[in-house]
Structure 1
Amino acid sequence: MLRANVLNKLTPLSPYGLGILLSLALGLMAITVAKTSFFSSLGISALTIAIIAGMLIGNTVFPRFADTLSKGIDFSRSRLLRFGIVLFGFNVTIQQVMSIGMNGFMIDCLIVTLIFGTAYFIGTHWLKLDRDTTILIGAGSAICGAAAILATEPVIKAQAHKISVAVATVVIFGTLSMFIYPLIYPYLNMSEFDYGIFVGSTVHEVAQVVAAGDAISPDAANAAVIEKMMRVMLLVPFLLFISNFYRRQSLAVINEKSGISVPWFAVMFVIVIGINSLNVIPHSLVVAIKSTDVILLSMAMAALGVRTHIGAIKQAGVKPLVLASILFCLLLVIGYSVNILIE
């Protein structure tokens, strides 16, 4: 407490200032480290590094300054997160989606539906995992890794350690996919383009998609990224579904009825995609916005890590990893089958 009071006197910032600055420092550090050749070659994103750095701080020095830093940390992991998800729409254009066509869209829809549905059934019924953890792991595996997990958090209001557990599964199995997919390519009987669609529709993170596609050819990487961006767009209907599902569950307890709850940032995400598709914003500005978005999401991830307690992760046990491993196998098998069937 004494150290926190001294820190307050030395720093003439708002109650949010120091916590936001800590999130910013950790986020910028993560971005810098992610750009190094070692982490870049592994496809480990700044978001992953940020949450690890945040957890290191959160489980060592943070408790001594929690009174001073908490408001800013919580602001970063909530408000800045939502804003970052909105700006993430600048990574997608309708033109990209159209270039893949209806087949690519159908592949993504089927895989997202099948993988998430399976995740929910296995997680809640077979493994007896709590609903929040199951949904977060399912979202990360089915849609777009850590970004999907972060986007789902404001809707279900999950605890920090559950988000960290879900992100860990994305890191483990997404990293595995970068090495496994290129190794099995010769046995898939697919063209480079079709392989790219397969990668984009089944691999977890965008960075991992790029790595797995580029290992075969630039054409495979381009197809993979575009397919992946189409999959990212499915975040919107997914968030609307989850929001309505949670609302109905809570209303059932009190026997009331209400309309669909729409997460505002999901709507803004769609609007931003539309604006980005019109090409009315200068390219240099779009690049700057995307760079800012990486900073915001890294800050949110770092703040999330700070609020994550190692003890809570240990308490989660091996069940989340079991669920994620099953989903990884299903992404390979079901994903391949769907791609062959539709293509």
Structure 2
Amino acid sequence: MPFSPEKRKDTISGILFVAIFAAAATFISQFPAVQAMGISPLVIGIVIGIFYANTLHNKTPEAWQGGITFSAKKILRFAIVFYGFRLTFQEIIDVGMAGFLVSLIMLASTFILGTWLGHKIFGMEKDTSMLTASGASVCGAAAVLATEPVLKSEEYKAAIAVSMVVLFGTISMFLYPVLYSAIIEPAVGFLHMTAREFGIYVGGTIHEVAQVVAVPASIPNAPKEMADAAVIVKMTRVIMIAPMLIILGIYLSYTARKEGGAGEKVKLVIPWFAVYFIGVAGFNSLHLVPTDIVSVINEIDTFLLTMAMTALGMGTRFAKFKGLGLAPIYTASAMFAWLVIGGFIVTKAICSVF
């Protein structure tokens, strides 16, 4: 046990060690250039963690590993639960049926496509494919973090998924303003989108929340309606991570039972932290907690998520990446193409009805 009397001191030392790295990541994320690129402290945290894992990990006591593991597993679940304070059910209602359907269709189709391509076509392990697909389909690094404990995968696999989120999410930040300015905004006919439609398109297809915020901000004279629709649709995708993880847990239990034979009992995997996440979002929807306190909770939660991401990075060794080749790039590229092209078609079709 990490907090048994003989291990308590070393566990706390490991947690504080991770917290120092997370504080550095938070500080770096506040640089104007970093903020302009929409890079969250979570991403910086895993980069710092990976650097440590491949350079200095032999310089720290092995006994601290319990605290690092605690940060990557237990603190992670706690932080995901309190991520619900960023959402309200009213926000989902406000965006309307169009935003909800775009979120649902793009999440489900991207996750299924990415998992199938990664595992069946490009030969990645199934959990690596699912982690990569979760990052693209839901909310980037935070979704990878939330999916990792359900799959019980190794840390380096989450690092692969996050790296794909960073790469293609960054490409999105530069591509979407160009699409709007050069094609969608001045066009007529099928390519034309209103500000609201483009906001739904952005929120329904770009990886990270910070990247979704950055796109309308980088378009000159972008209507407020665009930014509002983008953020609300994105947060709708975020809240959908809870039912997605519950369905994934049921699916994993079913496949394990099927592969193990009818006579073997397999425990149903229910990610309770995802259920609690919905509960916190529901509580937040009642607006019982003052806004300034919610802001403080969200800042603390971001730091805890950064700690978890940093700890995951600390468990990532480059040697484990051998044999993967370009499969993650191919998988993420295919999902990105679907998000950009398929997402446009889905958004246009749904917005024409609703």
- Give the TM-score normalised by structure 2: 0.91
State the distance in 1 between where 2:129 and 2:197 align: 30
2:326 matched to which residue of 1? Answer: 318
State the distance in 1 between where 2:271 and 2:102 align: 26
State the distance in 2 between where 1:18 and 1:200 align: 40
* 2:300 is equivalent to residue 306 of structure 1: no
- Specify which of 334, 347, 350 is matched with residue 339 of structure 1: 347
1:235 matched to which residue of 2? Answer: 241
2:46 matched to which residue of 1? Answer: 51
2:150 and 2:269 in contact (8 A); partners too: no
Identity %: 37
State the distance in 2 between where 1:24 and 1:146 align: 18
- Specify which of 241, 244, 250 is matched with residue 250 of structure 2: 244
1:57 and 1:306 in contact (8 A); partners too: yes
Aligned residues: CA RMSD? 1.5
State the distance in 1 between where 2:322 and 2:93 align: 44
- Give the TM-score normalised by structure 1: 0.94
Tell me how far 1:257 sits from its aligned partner: 5.5
* 2:288 is equivalent to residue 280 of structure 1: yes
Aligned amino acid, residue 197 of structure 2: D
- Specify which of 208, 220, 225 is matched with residue 219 of structure 1: 225
Please give the secondary structure, in 2, of the residue aligned with 1:138.
helix
Please give the secondary structure, in 1, of the residue aligned with 2:60.
helix
Tell me how far 1:66 sits from its aligned partner: 4.4
Tell me how far 1:123 sits from its aligned partner: 1.3
State the distance in 1 between where 2:233 and 2:153 align: 29
- Specify which of 153, 163, 169 is matched with residue 164 of structure 2: 169
- Specify which of 263, 272, 276 is matched with residue 271 of structure 2: 263
Please give the secondary structure, in 2, of the residue aligned with 1:152.
helix
- Specify which of 20, 25, 30 is matched with residue 25 of structure 2: 30
Between stretches 172-181 and 15-24, larger displacement belongs to: 15-24
1:196 and 1:220 in contact (8 A); partners too: yes
User: Which residues of 2 match residues 54-65 of structure 1 at below 5 A?
Assistant: 54-65=49-60
User: Which residues of 2 match residues 97-246 of structure 1 at below 5 A?
Assistant: 97-186=92-181, 187-188=183-184, 189-216=192-219, 217=222, 218-246=224-252
Please give the secondary structure, in 2, of the residue aligned with 1:308.
coil
Tell me how far 1:94 sits from its aligned partner: 0.7
- Specify which of 87, 112, 123 is matched with residue 92 of structure 1: 87
1:214 and 1:220 in contact (8 A); partners too: no
Please give the secondary structure, in 2, of the residue aligned with 1:300.
helix
Aligned residues: 332
Q: Which has the higher helix share?
A: 1
Tell me how far 1:161 sits from its aligned partner: 0.8
2:69 and 2:311 in contact (8 A); partners too: yes
Misfit runs of 4+, over 4 Å: 257-260
State the distance in 1 between where 2:69 and 2:268 align: 27
Please give the secondary structure, in 2, of the residue aligned with 1:14.
helix
State the distance in 1 between where 2:158 and 2:41 align: 16
Aligned amino acid, residue 298 of structure 1: T
* Residues 69, 226 of structure 1: alpha-carbon distance in 2 compared, 3 angstrom cutoff: same
